[in-house]
Structure 1
Amino acid sequence: MSTFVLVSGPFTDGRLWSEVALRLRESGAGAHPVTLGRQPEADLETHVEDVLRLIDSLEPCGDLVLVGHDYAIHPVLGAADRRPERVARIVHLDAGMPQDGDTALALVPDQTVHELLRTEDGSALVPPPGPDQWQRWGSTEGLSAQRLELLSGLAAPQPPRTLTRPLRLTGAGAAVPTSGVLCTAGGTTVDLVEALVRTGPPQFLKLADPRVGFFELATGHWPMLSCPDELAEVLLRAAAGEGRRLTVPEDESPFLGSFLLDAPERRRVRNGRVDLHLPESGEAQGPWPAVLFVHGGPVPPDLVPTPRDAPFYLGYARCTAGLGAVGAVVDHRLHGLTDYARAADDIAEALELLRADPRVDARRIALWIFSGAGPLAADWIAAPPSWLRCLALTYPILAPLPGWGAIGPRFHPVPALRADDAAPPPLVLTRAGLETPQIAATVEEFTTAAQETKTPVEIIDVPRGRHGFEIHEPTDESRDAVSRAMRTVLAHLTRPS
């Protein structure tokens, strides 16, 4: 039978696992809850060492399964990286996929914690939530008032450096099989994960590895309290190698596949992070209007090819140049959920570079934003300059998804649209009819706000299109939608002032 090392999220300790550990032991498995160090000076390395000490104390018999809940996936991955020969499986229990160099703070949804760690000198303990505050950290569905009181009673302050120190991985544990247990009350489902694999950056493709299995629990973020029996059963099944597998062709990534329209190569000029694709001089006389394409994300910093060299964005930019406008693509630095401010700065800089180019008509600029870059639209909705003639959004994420609280209130397009002084530029929204429910809900929230504020939005629907439909089995319907969106944006750029 398997032996489980159980590590819980922030503020909690090994006592949180008491019922789950009992069920596992009753099944014949070993169960060892871990209490991570709570001393004020503890950091992520301290917690990695806590997990390592327990691993090293166990007899090497049976399969060793490390379970990391929430924050605890960081020390679990750190320990597995140093003892890969001892670990048979890693279970991500309602936890993220941190990479080398990531901090746990990037996935902390509670903005008060971010503010605390920004304003303090880094030594202030993060206070635990009260019974009415746990929902800031995850869904509390399934927890009675008594269970919330128990959760608070077991809680203690979190040492700040456990959240701010980066995870260090050598890659030694990359081959260890993994399982993901998703608590669906928080909004994350296997279908959503599969959509991210199909349409997101290439790093998500690893989730389609046959060694990765997925499970769902219809409960909130603390299943060890809300459904310990079901959680124990799922952990046993995960240890046995069960779980739903994702099968996604690698060429479905928008960074790897081919564009759906014929897009002949155009003269390209590189300026910093921005590439300009220019119309033929015979097609029109410059200066030309311009469209800046903003890729989705987050994407890893070492992504190859970078978005501006990927067929997807090359296709959009070249087609724009073929219509008589400059098609520009920016490689912005949205590498994680805490990078939206940096990405916003990159886009502002790219727009200034674009407008300063003598081949560009600085008075006629459009911004075209895709997918996970959708929150960046908030700035341009709230305070658009006069030269921004159009803001286009293609299958955008327009409100934080589950676990995206770290992006901060600045990057919420819906409140920006509802602001009393909002005067957004003309909006062009392309929707995928087969969008994942979580993303579709953010778009619905945005369109409802537009109706209530009487903000015109030109909507182009692709009824049978998925997120990233330009790559996924292109159809006449999707080709027509992209062509219509381009013509609509260009019409705004050429319309008299």
Structure 2
Amino acid sequence: MTAFILVSGMFTGTHIWQDTAARLTARGAEVHTVALTGLDAPRAAAAPGVDLETHIADVLAVIDSVGAAGDRRIVLVGHDYGIHPAVGAADRRAERVDRIVHLDSGLPRDGVPALAAVPDQSLRERLAGAAGADGVLPPPAHEEWPRWGSTAGVPDAALDRLTALAAPQPLGTLLQPLRLTGAVDPVPTTGVLCTGNGTSIELVQMLVRLGDPALRPLTDPRVSFFELPTGHWPMLSLPAELTDVLLRAAAGEGRRLEPVDDTAGPGHLRPFLMDVPDVPRERHGNLDLYLPDAEEPRPAVVLVHGGPVPADARPTPRDWPGLTGYARCVAGDGAVGALLDHRLHDLGDFERAAADVAAAVEAVRADPRVDGDRVALWFFSGGGLIAADWLDAPPAWLRCLAATYPVLAPLPNWGLSESRFRPVRAVANAGALPVVLTRVGREMPEIAATVEEFLAAAKDCGADVEVVDVPHGHHGFETIDLTDESRTAVRHALRTVLDHAFGGHAR
């Protein structure tokens, strides 16, 4: 028999599992829900000293209560914050746990507190400096739940009940670092990703290809994945589908990620899709300039890479062939190509990444070889959110803003819904600024939705947006889709951006 142990997330108790637990039981499984100290009662008040270790002990007590019968296979399910005490307990009972299911949750790491996984960036910053761990974080009001994850699909009555039964979260559970010995590492795991909350298997696969060493273990055959087309609360929105997925996960089913092919190299480090001119490059700190063969000041195109990119990723983005290819083409066509490394290493880094971009732009405009009154900005992938600053208040010298397979609204689980980094809103203030948007037909659905939302907003406000379509292109197509269609799209986008940058002047 399979024994499921279900661990709830922030502000919630065993009540959220009621429907899923009943369905699992009806399918022949044994089910235990963990009552986390200080959380599992209506508007519970945490006693002083409740921390992550307290909740790990709560999970351990349930694991130990299941008994030592050899025919019981324990599957430990952690939702949201609940994955931290779940993994912490599994590390101490690794021989008893057959599988850990990460239900729309992060990847707990040794020495890292659960606070790092809180989606709300401003809240993370406030709580990081909390003086003591005996306080509590008040539960969300009814309209505040989306700050903690998408409520897509949750019936109104279920959201009302979630709010009524929500409890304050003890700060110690978020601030105390998780301590792992490594015993949990061999335990098979399954990730259940809720696409309505902004995560998909394809997105995880792309992050793995970027080379983050912390994500490489996800390609282990013992790791499987499922997707559910709903928000962050599948036990409330899709309990029947969640039940089926949990049973299949317990049976070892699910999709596996493709291992990184170290011989061919990750897709973003493969050669650019067309020949590029050999032009001079100068390196100035975090900024590279690709220079045209010209004596008089020329327009410039500043290329802004996406992310988050791990801080230790090598090579850094300004040496990625897809980006250097654009910069060399810009210089070959008579303008200055500028390519920078900015510090978007985490979802909480958009402020400093935007500051890096602004500083680089000023450095480019101040260079005597650049006509500072004729500059274009070109954003890629996750860097697209930084475009909001320039759409919201376009300076007179900004001749064009381009975006290629961009993210144009924060994904629900990014914790940026209240930030200024929302191009879908900022485009209303773009005025006559020309926007060139390269859209790929095989985009990840969660990113494609932000592009369509942006285009709808642009249409409503009459913004000047030209779309360059790559119907069969993928995210990062310049180094993985080496087709005539892709080359035509790149040439079209380059020509259009440079036409705006030159503004009718001879190249």
**TM-score band, normalised by the shorter chain?**
0.7 to 0.9
Partner of 2:16: 16
SS where residue 268 of structure 2 aligns? coil
Which range moves more in the overlay, 160-169 or 306-315?
160-169
Whole-angstrom CA distance in 2 between matches of 1:8 and 1:295:
37
Q: Does 1:262 align with 2:275?
A: yes
* Cα separation, partners in 2 of 1:20 and 1:450, compared to 1, 3 Å: closer
- Alpha-carbon shift at residue 27 of structure 1 (Å): 5.2
- Alpha-carbon shift at residue 241 of structure 1 (Å): 0.7
Partner of 1:306: 316
Whole-angstrom CA distance in 1 between matches of 2:386 and 2:433:
14
Amino acid at match of 2:167: A
Amino acid at match of 1:412: R
Partner of 1:128: 139
- Alpha-carbon shift at residue 105 of structure 1 (Å): 5.0
- Alpha-carbon shift at residue 107 of structure 1 (Å): 5.2
- Alpha-carbon shift at residue 10 of structure 1 (Å): 0.7
Q: Does 1:390 align with 2:409?
A: no
- Alpha-carbon shift at residue 103 of structure 1 (Å): 5.8
Contact 2:75 2:250 in 1 (8 A): yes
Mapping of residues 210-229 of structure 1, within 5 Å: 210-229=221-240
* Cα separation, partners in 2 of 1:277 and 1:43, compared to 1, 3 Å: farther
Match of 1:442 among 410, 434, 450: 450
Query: What TM-score do the two structures reach when normalised by structure 2?
Result: 0.83
Contact 1:252 1:471 in 2 (8 A): no
- Alpha-carbon shift at residue 427 of structure 1 (Å): 1.5
Amino acid at match of 1:267: P
Gaps of 5+ in 1: none
- Alpha-carbon shift at residue 138 of structure 1 (Å): 3.7
- Alpha-carbon shift at residue 53 of structure 1 (Å): 5.6
- Alpha-carbon shift at residue 276 of structure 1 (Å): 2.2
Whole-angstrom CA distance in 2 between matches of 1:172 and 1:353:
50
Contact 1:106 1:338 in 2 (8 A): no
Match of 1:273 among 275, 280, 286: 286
Whole-angstrom CA distance in 2 between matches of 1:202 and 1:216:
23
Mapping of residues 38-187 of structure 1, within 5 Å: 38=38, 39=46, 41-44=49-52, 46-48=54-56, 50-52=58-60, 54-55=62-63, 59=67, 61=70, 62-80=72-90, 84=94, 86-97=96-107, 104=114, 108=118, 117=127, 125-131=136-142, 133-140=144-151, 143-163=154-174, 173-186=184-197
Contact 1:185 1:220 in 2 (8 A): yes
- Alpha-carbon shift at residue 463 of structure 1 (Å): 1.8
Whole-angstrom CA distance in 2 between matches of 1:106 and 1:376:
22
Amino acid at match of 1:477: E
Which range moves more in the overlay, 404-413 or 475-484?
404-413
Partner of 1:245: 256
Contact 1:16 1:224 in 2 (8 A): yes
Amino acid at match of 1:272: G
- Alpha-carbon shift at residue 212 of structure 1 (Å): 2.7
Amino acid at match of 1:13: G
Mapping of residues 397-416 of structure 1, within 5 Å: 397-406=407-416, 408-416=418-426
Partner of 2:32: 32
- Alpha-carbon shift at residue 381 of structure 1 (Å): 0.8
Gaps of 5+ in 2: 39-45
Which range moves more in the overlay, 28-37 or 441-450?
28-37
Whole-angstrom CA distance in 2 between matches of 1:311 and 1:43:
47
Amino acid at match of 2:437: L
Partner of 2:42: none
Partner of 2:359: 349
SS where residue 470 of structure 1 aligns? helix
Q: Does 1:318 align with 2:328?
A: yes
Partner of 1:285: 295
Contact 1:106 1:336 in 2 (8 A): no
Which range moves more in the overlay, 142-151 or 270-279?
142-151
Amino acid at match of 1:129: P
Amino acid at match of 1:128: P
Whole-angstrom CA distance in 2 between matches of 1:196 and 1:348:
26
Amino acid at match of 1:76: A
- Alpha-carbon shift at residue 325 of structure 1 (Å): 2.6
Whole-angstrom CA distance in 1 between matches of 2:312 and 2:162:
40
Whole-angstrom CA distance in 2 between matches of 1:273 and 1:168:
36
SS where residue 169 of structure 2 aligns? coil
Q: Does 1:481 align with 2:489?
A: yes
Residue deviations 1:378-423, cap 9 Å, x none? 001112223322211001111122323336330011211224xx43
Whole-angstrom CA distance in 1 between matches of 2:359 and 2:202:
36
SS where residue 308 of structure 2 aligns? coil
Whole-angstrom CA distance in 1 between matches of 2:53 and 2:409:
34
Whole-angstrom CA distance in 1 between matches of 2:157 and 2:237:
11
Amino acid at match of 1:126: L
Which range moves more in the overlay, 288-297 or 148-157?
148-157
Whole-angstrom CA distance in 2 between matches of 1:98 and 1:266:
45
Which range moves more in the overlay, 291-300 or 211-220?
211-220
Whole-angstrom CA distance in 1 between matches of 2:111 and 2:288:
29
Contact 2:147 2:417 in 1 (8 A): no
Whole-angstrom CA distance in 2 between matches of 1:98 and 1:344:
28
- Alpha-carbon shift at residue 157 of structure 1 (Å): 0.6
Residue deviations 1:135-156, cap 9 Å, x none? 5534445544543343334321
SS where residue 403 of structure 1 aligns? helix
Query: What TM-score do the two structures reach when normalised by structure 1?
Result: 0.85
Residue deviations 1:254-278, cap 9 Å, x none? 4332211213554332222222233
Whole-angstrom CA distance in 2 between matches of 1:151 and 1:189:
25
Whole-angstrom CA distance in 2 between matches of 1:305 and 1:85:
40
Which range moves more in the overlay, 397-406 or 138-147?
138-147
Whole-angstrom CA distance in 1 between matches of 2:388 and 2:458:
13
* Cα separation, partners in 2 of 1:53 and 1:313, compared to 1, 3 Å: farther
Contact 2:299 2:374 in 1 (8 A): yes
Whole-angstrom CA distance in 1 between matches of 2:376 and 2:111:
35
SS where residue 31 of structure 1 aligns? strand
- Give me the identity figure in percent: 58
Q: Does 1:461 align with 2:469?
A: yes
